[in-house]
Structure 1
């Protein structure tokens, strides 16, 4: 039972701010005899899913804000590796502003698509079981993140891709991309032929899972991140 509290605590904090987390944890504080008493397995799973729903909504709203991706040095989406090889040359011949617009447009597309993450994650999490939770808690620092990545990536990519493509078109990223490389490809022996929509989709999901994993590791390892009594009691023990 104590392990379920650990999982619930991590997921709440991975997806939400401290205020939301405190509210959720105070509601479910009775799990495992802490607070008002124990809960059934069914109630635990239901509470876990609800915590995920509320927490993911908070997180995706933050990612979908203006500069949610572009303003983050870690997850900012840059030119694909194939394009980076020729970016300096293109800037030297006058394509600098166009490249900057393309980079900004890719990040705007990721921010736009992030509005849909909450619903997709919630739908995927419906299948989580107590057995899944126990397996996660027996894993390493990123076990919960890897579980979410494994069980949601394909669905997220399938749902994200049309949103990304539409967003790229709306902000004219594909036009900027074409402007940057059409001339280059005419004279290059190694033309760039990257699927921009697939690339942005992959990087958007990578940014999401990066932050989830970082939060999971911090909660597991850093006492400072255990900002409530229940977190201190659970993670301070030898679970």
Structure 2
């Protein structure tokens, strides 16, 4: 078996399911683990590159789809009040804040990938595409939230978006009502920062999973072309 054919077989074993016992053995080999890690690291790099560019962040549909419902409600309320310009400003500030989470997120994710075990590879080989990203999410999502939320909060406070929103809404407690009746600026800011951080974490994993799925498609196309 040539080296290229072996690598294709290995990646196929890692990303396709169900698989035979022999494929599981191949996936858990040193080469199989290396390919698996390479796929995940590629997805991480792709996602963080998007986070590094404000325009790419704003244009990414996976990130937009990851917006928590509470933040959607805030934006919907503002739009109904004719404040669509503030919605765009808020999104713009969140995209800018995302750039400051890249260097914090990268080592957490890379470390988790490097610590994947043969037991993880068996679970991935038996579970199929998307499971690798799910394992990564299980291992790092809480750590990522804890690490980036303070940075997001600091940046959104620096940009003054909540102060701007409160000023635009006057003496009404619309934002406070959306955050459970808490009308203090700190409570509202903390809410927006928390939901923005959730959007970033979930959006990043969506990008990584999409990259994993794209690898599956590319491998299947390659195999089809070899027949």
Q: Is the 8 A contact 1:4 1:134 kept in 2?
A: no
Q: Identify the residue that residue 100 of structure 1 maps to in structure 2.
A: 88
CA RMSD of aligned residues (A): 3.9
Q: Identify the residue that residue 177 of structure 2 maps to in structure 1.
A: 191
Question: Could you tell me which of 39, 57, 60 is aligned with 1:69?
Answer: 57
Q: Identify the residue that residue 79 of structure 2 maps to in structure 1.
A: 88
Quick check: which one's helix share is greater? 2
Q: Identify the residue that residue 145 of structure 2 maps to in structure 1.
A: 157
**TM-score, normalisation: structure 2:** 0.68
Residue 181 and residue 112 in structure 1: after superposition, are their counterparts in 2 closer, same or farther (change >3 A)? farther
1:1-239, aligned counterparts within 5 Å? 5-6=11-12, 41=29, 45=33, 49=37, 52-53=40-41, 56-57=44-45, 59-76=47-64, 80-91=71-82, 95-181=83-169, 183-185=171-173, 191-193=177-179, 195-220=191-216, 222=217, 225-226=218-219, 232-233=222-223
Aligned length: 200
1:50 Cα offset (Å): 6.7
Give distance in 2, aligned partners of 1:207 and 1:132.
23
Give distance in 1, aligned partners of 2:152 and 2:89.
16
Q: Deviations over 1:55-101 (max 9, x none)?
A: 6345413321131211224423598133144223321xxx3433321
Structure 2: runs of 5 or more not aligned:
1-5, 17-22, 180-187
Residue 179 and residue 142 in structure 1: after superposition, are their counterparts in 2 closer, same or farther (change >3 A)? farther
Give distance in 1, aligned partners of 2:33 and 2:207.
24
1:167 Cα offset (Å): 2.0
Determine helix, strand or coil for the equivalent of 1:122. helix
